[in-house]
Structures are given as C-alpha cells and as structure tokens.
Amino acid sequence: MFIKRDHTKLICDVGEIAGLFHDAVSMEEFLQKITAMVTRHMGCEVCSIYLYYAGRQELVLRATTGLNPASVGKVRMAVAEGLTGQALREKRPICEGQARHNPNFRFFPGIGEEKFESFLAVPIFRGNVEVGVMVIQSEKKDYFSPEDIQAFRAITAQLATTIETARLLITLNDKKEKTPVALPQEVKFVRGRCGSEGVALAATVVISETVTDLRHDGTAGGERYSEADCRRAIEETERQLEEMQLQLEATLPDMTALIFTAQILMLKDKGFCDAIFHLIKGGVNPPSAVAQVVNDYVSKFSRIEDSYLREKIYDVKDVGRRLLENLTGRARAHGDYEGKIVVARELFPSDALKLFSQKIKGIILLSGGATSHVAILARSLNIPLVITHEEALLFLDPSTDVLLDASMGSIYIDPDPLVKAKVLQRDELNRNLPALKKMVREHPQTRDGTAVRLMANINLLGDLKAANEFKADGVGLYRSEFPFMIRSNFPSEDEQYLIYRRLVEGMPGKEITLRTLDIGGDKVLSYTHYSREENPFLGLRSIRLSFKHTDVFVAQLRAMLRAGAGQRIRILFPMISSLDEFLQAKAIVQECVQQLETQRREFNPSPLLGVMVELPSTVEIINEMAQEADFFSIGTNDLVQYMLAVDRTNDSVAPLYLPHHPSVLRAMKRVVEAGLKHAREVSICGDMANEPKYLSLLLGLGIRCFSMDARYLPRMHERLRQLSVSECEKLAQEILAQSQISRIAQILESVRYPA
C-alpha cells in the first residue's frame, strides 16, 4: 500500500507544541501554528480547528490552514449541523471520501471549501469535556486511510488539553466574545454557601489563574511604545500604589503597614526592571517585554509550589496588569476590580484586603469554607462572599451582571428584574441602621429574665463601630493575627501597643479579650519561611508558633499588658492542647509582668488568663484546666473541625461540618459543667454564636456569654428576648439524649419561636 505520510514523525512533532506555544503571541496564533503543523504532517491541504462553545451549543472556526483566513471567527455552526457537528455529537471520527455528496455536508459560502473532496473530522475531548473538532481536508478523493484516522485521533487526543486551555484564554481575553465558554445558558442560578452576608449587584471579574493572559494584554492593539513610555508607566504605577496605600490606611487604621510593599518593591527591583529594559533594547515592544518578564516571575513562583508564596504571585500579576494598563493607556482610575464582583478559585486574607482597597462589591470563591479566615475577614470588611463549587463561574462573561444574595448563598446570573427588586429591597431593610439599633438592649436578657452577655468578635478595628452601635458588652475575641498577616515583617511591640490601645479605648469601661497570635492553618504570614506543611492545620499553628518564637510572643504579651493599663482586659490563648502548654503560657505572661514592673512601665499587672477550647484533648482534661484558667472560650470553628476531622476550609466536606453533632454538644456540656464547678465563665466565640438557630440549644447547655461578629448582635438580641431558659434547658436535655445527627437536626428544625 502507498504510504503517504510518516505518522511516527507526526506524533514526535507534537512534542514541539510547547515550542509553538512559547513563540506564539496570542492563543489564536498558537492554534494557527497547530493547523499548519498538522497539514504538513498529514500531507493534506487543509486543517481547521473549531472550538465548541457550550453556552450556545455552537462550533466556531478558530484557526485554519487552507481555507479562507477571513472566515476565522465568522464561521459558526450549531452542533446539530453538518459533518463537523456530527463528529462532536456522535463522539467519533467522520471520514468522507467525497464530502460534498454527503447530504449532511454544510456548505459555507466564501470559506473556500468547494474544491476539497476528502474530509476527516475528529472530535476533541478532554475526558468528558467537549473542546471542539479538528478537521482535515484534501483535494484528492478517498484520500484518508484507516491509519490516517488512527493517527489523527492520536494527535487530537494529545492536543486536547492544550487546545482547551487555548479556548479558555481566548474567551477570557476576547472582549467581543459575549457568551461564557463553559457556563451553559440554562445556568441562571447557582446555590453556594454564605461566607459573608450581604447583597451585591455588579459585573464580574475573574482573577485569572493563568499566567498567559498577560501575553495577550501586552500585545493587544499592536501599537509601538518607547523605552521612555515604559519608564513613565513604572513611575505612574508606583505613584498609584502609594496612593492606594494611603487610602487604605485612612479606612483601616490597624492596617498601617504597607500592604502594597511587595508590589512597590518589585517596581524598584533592579532585576525586574533591568530584565524589562534589556528586552526593550533588544527590540521587543515594551508591553510584550513587561508581559514576558512578569510571566517569567509568575512561573518561577508557581514552580516553587509553596502555598506561602502564592501571595507573591497575586502581587506579581497585579503589578504586571497595572503596569501594562499604564503603559498602553488603557489604565482605569482605580484598577480592574472597582465596583465588580470578584470570582476566584482561592484567596488569602491579604488578597481580600487588597481587593477591598480596590473597592470591590462582592466575592465568589471556589474554595474555602464558611469559617475560613478569608470569610471571617470579608465579614469585617462588609464584603458579601459566597462559596461554591461551580467551576463554570470562572468563565463568566465579564459583561454579565450577577446578583449575589450572600445570606442565602444565592448567585443569580443575569438576574430577572423581579428577583433583583426583591433581593435589593430585603437588603435595604437589613441595612436599616435605626431599625437594627432598636433591636438591641443595654442589658440583654431572656424572656424569663436571665441575664446574658452578648459580646463582639473584633477582627479589624473597623468592627468597633458596629460593636458600639449594637451595644456589645465588650470584646469576647480580638483576633490579633490580622494585623500580622498583611505586614512584611512581625510588627514591633510598640506598633502592636498602638493597635491594642485603640481597641481598648474603643470600648471604654468594657471588658476586652485579646487573643494571642493564631497564625497557621489558613492564615499564613508571607514573611515566615517554614518548610511547606502537608497538614498546616495540624502543624506549627497558633500557640505552637508563639512558643517557637518566644521573642515575638513576649513582644505581643508586653504590648497587650501595656495596652490594658487601667482597663479590664483578658488574654486568651488559642489552640491549647495540654495543661503544660497553658502553664507555660502563664509563666511567660508572668515574666512579662516582671519585666514591665522592673522597667516601671504603665501596664495591667493582672489580666484574666483564659483557654480557648478548640481541641478534643483539652475537653478531656477540662476540670484540671479549670483550676488553672480564669475563663474558657469555646472556639467552635476549630472544635468542630478537630473533633470531626473535617477541614473547616474545605467546601467539599462542608456537609460533614456539623456543629450539632452529638459529640460536639456533649463536649461543650462538659466544658460548661467544669466552668460551673470552678466558677469560671464559659463563653462561645466560634461562628456557632452567630446563628440564631443554635441560641436556644446553647442557652440550654448553660452558656451565658456569646461573642459574635458585631453585625449579628441585633438579630441575636431579638432572638434572646423570645427564649425562656427553662424551655431551652428542656430542649438541650432532649438533644443531649440523642446520638444521631439527623435526629438532632430534626429537633432543632422543629423549634418554634414566638413572633
């Protein structure tokens, strides 16, 4: 038999795809190069790539060698049509010796197909995902043999992932493309979980995970720029970043550290700038030079695969984007994100802060749990946040309006006007400050007169406003780690003192509970270089880190003691797993007290010292602990995670994250009993305290102190007034007698409250 083509060589050449990718200045050009390579090796005249767009169930010609290049982007066909559509529909190659005689052949005028006889279409799939169809054609009749079909299928399979990536990038970058790639038209609504309540209506911006998007941005338009333009753009970018820093300081006084330092430093970095100017001197157009250097940095960081360094990737991309905008004159006054709902696969708390400073409206996150710290921070920043698994949202068309009804976990894509009106109206009511203020009482108590403390959790100093407005009875938990997370180094004792003092003075006469550093898990510091931890929640987290860095721990304790001068303060130690650890922490406090005394500093010598009950190991020794601790605070976010072995940040196990699991409730009961026996206050400061549905149960278990996000105080005041302790105790008894989660859920569901 006559061998027309050497298929072994063809498969080998596919190995050169990476090279094609690297040289191509756009995804379109990359696909084009693939078609040229395939025609060469298949010995035919035509190779075309059609990409599939699920939203419209349409195939679009994206690259061709041999047909009229002007048809690219214009030839579109429904999958129900033609031989090309048939290949995708039936998931098999369609080979025709004289295609034009097949009644299914779809003829497009102007495309230049008339003269081609043989036709071979092979669908491109990645797993089950339909990517598109690759077609080859020849002028000769009956040209393609069974070996050709086999070889062509093999090559298509090898290219599927790369072509799919190209399709995503084209769609992300193609401003004209109005329909999302992977979001089927019928997806109008996505149900997620609430991470931070609130409502937002805006267009979306997807934080790209790919590094190649800058390549496209850099060369768009094709204008030439000079070296001087590039220098000006660098200066302008620096100025903008400094301005953003100042604005942020004005809104978030505890965030005085330069959170944009990393980005400003990059612009000052000789290595970074030299690399750009080196390329420019070699004839590369400045936007491409910037894109190339930024991409190099990003890929270097990506290769390290150290989650602690991912924050840097965000910084590099962000500075690159900003620089390109300033260079090409496509800069917007406040960056890409202002007024948008940000969609991201993953975010760090410091990313949330940066986005906040860029005035975003909301966040859709494809990872993390409702008790993850980025969600906690979003609540303090008043940014609605929904967590979902819906990957298709990553491909939302930027012009699509999305309505985020975060309290309900609802995401409406291109919302119906009626839904929009209803949700916005409810939001209006929720924001009605005078009405909310009316719901709170100076001395909250139950219907039958039991006094209950309703305190506030403070993450940022900005939370104090709501805490005061809603009459919080002090601060039950100050998460001191947030100011640490956005700095580029450990804050000094004096810096910390200023922040803690503002906190203490922010609630004069009230009790303030300062928790020591709880870093680790999902809260990472970019400036500590620990080796990567496989299980960060079980690693060097929290008090363990404080013991490892006693200098940092001592500085923090001294700052807290000094800030507490003349006020009632409590110091709370997180993640205590043994009596030994608590005694060690107490001893270090004592050392600090002695130091401050010797130095004749003004400070509080006798703060109450408490244990956060977050680990099952502490529950087991709770009576002994009660003899040493002045108070307990139950951190249900971690207690649930560690008792049930369910990662609080992993949305895929979220249905197993159940605060009402009988083991958790019985553990809490034991803590309350130990507290009663030793006259120690037991409070609850995890997210369970935010939930009205748990209040009756927790009161019934004997808890009388709740610390919650300040914004939830009004609804908890209101619920408290509806409850009577005797009824709550009956409910708790009934629930504690149950051993099945489902039964407890049923009982909780059936509780009715007076209007």
Positions touching ligand PEP (CB under 6 A) are 477, 479, 518, 614, 635-638, 685-686
Q: Binding partner of residue 636 among ligand PEP, Mg ion, none, CB under 5 to 8 Å per kind?
A: ligand PEP
Which SS3 state, helix, strand or coil, does residue 49 take?
Answer: strand
Task: Collect all residues with Cβ–Cβ distance below 8 Å to 687 and sequence separation of at least 6.
Answer: 370, 371, 376, 636, 637
Q: From CA 193, how far away is CA 205, in angstroms rounded?
A: 20
- The least CB distance from residue 533 to Mg ion, in Å, is 17
Comparison of 164 and 518: residue with beta carbon closer to Mg ion: 518
Evaluate whether 475 touches 572 at the Cβ level (below 8 Å): no
- The least CB distance from residue 349 to ligand PEP, in Å, is 11
Q: Tell which positions 97-126 bind Mg ion, by CB under 5 A.
A: none
Q: Binding partner of residue 217 among Mg ion, ligand PEP, none, CB under 5 to 8 Å per kind?
A: none
Does the annotation mark 685 as catalytic? yes
Q: From CA 311, how far away is CA 570, in angstroms rounded?
A: 33
The residue with tokens 């496209």 is 216
- The least CB distance from residue 373 to ligand PEP, in Å, is 7
Comparison of 688 and 732: residue with beta carbon closer to Mg ion: 688
Burial (Cβ within 10 Å: 0-12, 13-18, ≥19) of residue 336: middle
Comparison of 415 and 635: residue with beta carbon closer to ligand PEP: 635
Q: Tell which positions 584-643 bind Mg ion, by CB under 5 A.
A: 614, 635, 638
- The least CB distance from residue 402 to ligand PEP, in Å, is 28
Evaluate whether 343 touches 331 at the Cβ level (below 8 Å): no
How many other CB atoms are found less than 10 A from the CB of residue 620?
13
What is the 3-state composition of the chain as percent helix, strand, coil, each rounded to the nearest 5? 50, 15, 35
- The least CB distance from residue 459 to ligand PEP, in Å, is 8
Q: Binding partner of residue 685 among ligand PEP, Mg ion, none, CB under 5 to 8 Å per kind?
A: ligand PEP
Comparison of 517 and 596: residue with beta carbon closer to Mg ion: 517
Task: Find the catalytic residue in 7, 373, 660, 717.
Answer: 373
Residue 185's alpha-carbon distances to 81, 178, 179, 432, in angstroms, are 19, 12, 9, 36
Q: Is 481 among the residues that bind Mg ion (CB under 5 A)? A: no
Comparison of 358 and 371: residue with beta carbon closer to ligand PEP: 371
Task: Collect all residues with Cβ–Cβ distance below 8 Å to 77 and sequence separation of at least 6.
Answer: 50, 58, 59, 84, 85, 106
Determine phi and psi for 311, rounding to 5 degrees.
-55, -35
- The least CB distance from residue 642 to ligand PEP, in Å, is 9
Q: Binding partner of residue 564 among ligand PEP, Mg ion, none, CB under 5 to 8 Å per kind?
A: none
Task: Find the catalytic residue in 685, 705, 717, 728.
Answer: 685
What is the full DSSP assignment across 174-231? -TT--S-SSS-TT--EEE-EEEE--EEEEEEEE----STHHHHHHHTT-----HHHHH
Does the annotation mark 373 as catalytic? yes
Residue (of 609, 604, 613, 612) closest to 570 by Cα position: 609
Q: Binding partner of residue 479 among Mg ion, ligand PEP, none, CB under 5 to 8 Å per kind?
A: ligand PEP
Q: Binding partner of residue 27 among ligand PEP, Mg ion, none, CB under 5 to 8 Å per kind?
A: none
Task: Collect all residues with Cβ–Cβ distance below 8 Å to 297 and sequence separation of at least 6.
Answer: 266, 272, 316
Number of H helices, E strands in the chain: 29, 22
Comparison of 325 and 638: residue with beta carbon closer to Mg ion: 638
Comparison of 197 and 638: residue with beta carbon closer to ligand PEP: 638
- The least CB distance from residue 42 to ligand PEP, in Å, is 59
Catalytic residues: 373, 685
User: Which stretches of the chain bind Mg ion, using CB under 5 A?
Assistant: 614, 635, 638
